[in-house]
Structure 1
Amino acid sequence: MKKILLSAAVILMLFSCQNDSTDLADSTKNASARRHCASQEVLEELLAADPTLAIRMNKIEAFTQKRTSNPNFRLVNGKIVIPVVVNVLYRTVAENISDAQIQSQIDVLNKDFTATNPDFANVPAEWSGIKANVDITFELVKINRKATTKTSWGTRDAMKSTKKGGLDPTTPSTTLNFWVCTIGGGILGYAQFPGGSSATDGVVCDSQYVGVTPNSGASYPYNLGRTATHEVGHWMNLRHIWGDASCGNDLVADTPVANTSNFGVPTYPYVSTCLPAHNEMTMNYMDYTDDRGMYLFTNGQKSRMSAIFVSGGARSAFGI
């Protein structure tokens, strides 16, 4: 297990922009053969556009490290219940997903974040001591719908703006806004990390990959609602498990180092090429495996997510 020993300089490097700004989704709808979350790429674009974002995120990271290093910290008012507003932008009947489909997604989030998902029992014994009940639940409070002529929205946050044809977020400081639309470019979803603008805060998922669609040829193998679980993890300050670098650091102490993203459903044990030899946690929600292959958050990830909701945390306005 890796230990987090990050200096301020290293944290600055983690949040620095490494790539030129490009539009990540083309104008055509493109079903994804492999999971592609655009959260990191979108973050890099936002950092390039707003140099002050890195400062805000560095402060959030410093606060998070301080809180997670103290085993005695407590949430302000106990349990975390997140109100969710879903914003559906549709051109076709299929894109205008039903209330029932949306509720099935909320149900998945509630199971995955409370360790009541049936496949939680499949966690290998070597991680039985760190598998976590995050103990966060979600409540659907409103569904907004809007017809559009757009064939895809890309990753420039246009769907989050009424002026650009989308829907403005609803009380983003106290509500998780969840946009459902056709993203394009093979991208399943993306999320905004804590510290970004409230005008664009929330999660975006392609309409094909929202909720549970058993035996759906259109969305398989991403038909069990785990795209949203992954993206909400980002919204709660989790990084990809490989740290978006070869054998990188995801800022969580109890997740094994991963060489890169994993796809499909790797057979356990899956030995890492990162030394010293160890097994990779391919079933973690923050990897890129198929929906049926991810079913685990760790205690370290739980501590990191919880830290943003305590007094002084990036999302403490949720009033917990």
Structure 2
Amino acid sequence: MKKVILGMAAMAFLFASCEQDPNQTIVEEQQEAQVDMSDFYLYTDSSDEKRSENAPEKCYSMKNLNRLLNEKKGLHKKMYDVEAHTRKILAKKPDGVGNGNGGGGNDGGGGTTDPGDNLGVVNIPVVVHVIYSNSQENISDQQINSQISVLNSDFAASNNDANNVPSEFAGLVADSEISFTLAEVRREANSRTSWGTRDDMKYAYPPVSPANTLNIWVCNIGGGILGYAQFPGGPASTDGVVISPQYFGTTGYVSAPFDKGRTATHEVGHYLNLRHIWGDGRCKQDDFVADTPESDGPNYGCPSYPTVNCRNTDMTMNYMDYTNDACMYMFSEGQKSRMRTLFMDGGARTGFLN
């Protein structure tokens, strides 16, 4: 009997020693939930001092975001939560892969080795809404297919010009493991010749299944604007990307030097939560990606290498800069990690996996 009692006592001790202290669990959960959001921002002045007066406005996404923040109550909180979720996931990766708070420099915020997220290749169905007032704007199926092809090659780092990346950044070129499939083309004749940037085209022709479909409206925006996108967290009724027809795809009704489909690559980057490479600010404004160097503004044309700002070599060939289509040809590993957090549990675009 004594042996039985001693045995039971030993088992009770063992069970107690293995059971985790509830208070310890709470502390660990609180620590896991805490991420540094001190550098988070949404509003920008969206000024573009480097752009010449007559040059096209490459991207209207940040100005569109400013407008939505003013109009949509609760949007700031939603986008804050999207960013916090992204940082929690990236904080678990070795050396904080892809995380911000590193000043944006090559040596800030951690390394770039990504152990993988077990998602595999994420496929995004695409619905293209062609809204036209004349035959030129009613772009061909061939032109649409050429754009889908560019998206697939650019996001897979299989583009032919990827080998132009200088050795300084060559090790950062990323296959995002995101692919695109054309699901449907919707053609809409409309006498309106310019649609502007207040999402009128989306209200006239609403998005198809925005939770699990990328909607792209191809229509004349006007004002020399190439395109704009909505960031994750915005209203479902306006979710997607808008691009003027002459900057969509690589053949047909296209206009140089933005005739290689990179406007869509850039805008889909925004749709997947990437900021402009310079962070829409000066040297201390971050794009929340550790392996993209700090810069003080966008680059245009085809800059010479190296182009140095903020004591760093600019990654001018990154898709999230403003250079000509022929002179941008990479996403970084940090940008890949950032995009893919959207598809993970609790992410803003998990609908693509369901």
Whether the TM-score (by the shorter chain) exceeds 0.5 is yes
CA distance in 2, matches of 1:169, 1:129: 38
Measure the CA separation in 2 of the matches of 1:8 and 1:122: 35
* Mapping of residues 141-220 of structure 1, within 5 Å: 141-162=183-204, 167-213=205-251, 219-220=255-256
2:297 corresponds to 1:270: no
Contact 1:120-1:296 within 8 A present in 2 as well: yes
Matching residue's letter, 1:192? Q
TM-score (norm 1): 0.87
Q: Which secondary structure state, in structure 2, belongs to the residue aligned with residue 283 of structure 1?
A: coil
Q: Distance in 2 between matches of 1:264 and 1:242?
A: 16
Q: How many residue pairs end up in the alignment? A: 294
Residue matched to 2:281? 245
- Higher mean C-alpha deviation, range 129-138 or range 299-308: 129-138
The 8 Å contact of residues 174 and 330 in structure 2, kept in 1 or not, is answered as yes
Q: Which residue of 2 aligns with 1:23?
A: none
Q: Distance in 1 between matches of 2:190 and 2:280?
A: 34
DSSP 3-state at the match of 1:10: coil
Q: Distance in 2 between matches of 1:285 and 1:126?
A: 17
Deviation, 1:35, is 4.5
**Which structure 2 residues correspond to residues 41-190 of structure 1 after superposition, within 5 A?**
41-71=63-93, 75=117, 77-162=119-204, 167-190=205-228
Q: Is 2:51 the counterpart of 1:15?
A: no
- For 1:115 and 1:10, the matched residues in 2 are separated by 30
Q: Structure 2, unaligned stretches of length 5 or more?
A: 1-34, 47-53, 95-114
SS in 2 for 1:92: coil
Asked if 1:301 corresponds to 2:343, the answer is no
Whichever residue aligns with residue 42 of structure 2, its letter is F
- CA–CA distance in 2 between the matches of 1:10 and 1:254? 16
Report the 3-state secondary structure (helix = DSSP H, G, I; strand = E; otherwise coil) of the residue aligned with 1:8.
coil
Identity of aligned residues (%): 51
Paired residue type of 2:276: H
Query: Which deviates further from its counterpart, 75-84 or 141-150?
Result: 75-84
- Deviation of 1:295 after TM superposition, in Å, equals 0.2
Contact 2:142 2:251 (8 Å CA) reproduced: no
The 3 A distance-change label for structure 1 pair 33 and 213 is farther
Give the 3-state SS of the residue equivalent to 2:162 in structure 1.
Answer: helix
* Structure 2 counterpart of 1:38: 60
Identify the structure with the greater helix proportion. 2
Letter in 1 for 2:328: M
- List aligned pairs for 1:282-297, cutoff 5 A: 282-297=316-331
Please report how far the alpha carbon of residue 75 of structure 1 lies from its aligned counterpart in structure 2 after TM superposition.
Answer: 4.1
Q: Deviations over 1:90-112 (max 9, x none)?
A: 00100000011000000000000
- In the aligned structure 1, how far is the partner of 2:160 from the partner of 2:280? 29
Q: Which residue of 2 aligns with 1:28?
A: none
TM-score normalised to structure 2 length? 0.79
Output one character per residue of 1:273-310: Cα deviation in whole Å (capped at 9) or x when no partner: x1xx2210000000000000100100000000000011
Q: Which has the larger radius of gyration?
A: 2
Letter of the structure 2 residue corresponding to residue 267 of structure 1: S
C-alpha contact 2:120 2:177 (8 A) present in aligned 1: no
**Which amino acid is 2:221 matched to?**
I
Q: In the alignment, is the contact (CA less than 8 A) between 1:16 and 1:54 conserved in 2?
A: no
Corresponding residue for residue 23 of structure 2: none
Contact 2:260 2:326 in 1 (8 A): yes
How far the C-alpha of 1:131 sits from its partner, in A, is 1.2
Q: What do the CA deviations read for 1:214-241 (whole angstroms, capped 9, x no partner)? A: 8x7x610000000000000000000000
What letter corresponds to residue 69 of structure 1 in structure 2? A
Contact 1:75 1:309 survives alignment (8 Å):
no
RMSD between aligned alpha carbons? 2.0
**Contact residue 126 and residue 216 of structure 2 kept, 8 A:** yes
Instruction: Tell me, yes or no, if the aligned pair for 2:43 and 2:65 is still in contact at 8 Å.
Output: no
* 1:129–1:61 CA distance, 2 compared to 1 (3 A): same
Q: Please say if residues 194 and 237 of structure 1, whose CA atoms lie closer than 8 Å, have aligned partners that are also in contact.
A: yes
Contact 2:213/2:352 (<8 A) preserved:
yes
Higher mean displacement: 51-60 or 126-135: 126-135
> Within 2, Cα distance between the matches of 1:229 and 1:301?
13
Q: Which residue of 1 aligns with 2:266?
A: 230
1:7-46 per-residue CA deviation (whole Å, 9 max, x = no partner) reads: 43532xx124758xxxxxxxxxxxx734520000000000
Q: C-alpha distance in 1, partners of 2:251/2:294? A: 32
Return the letter of the residue paired with 1:240: H
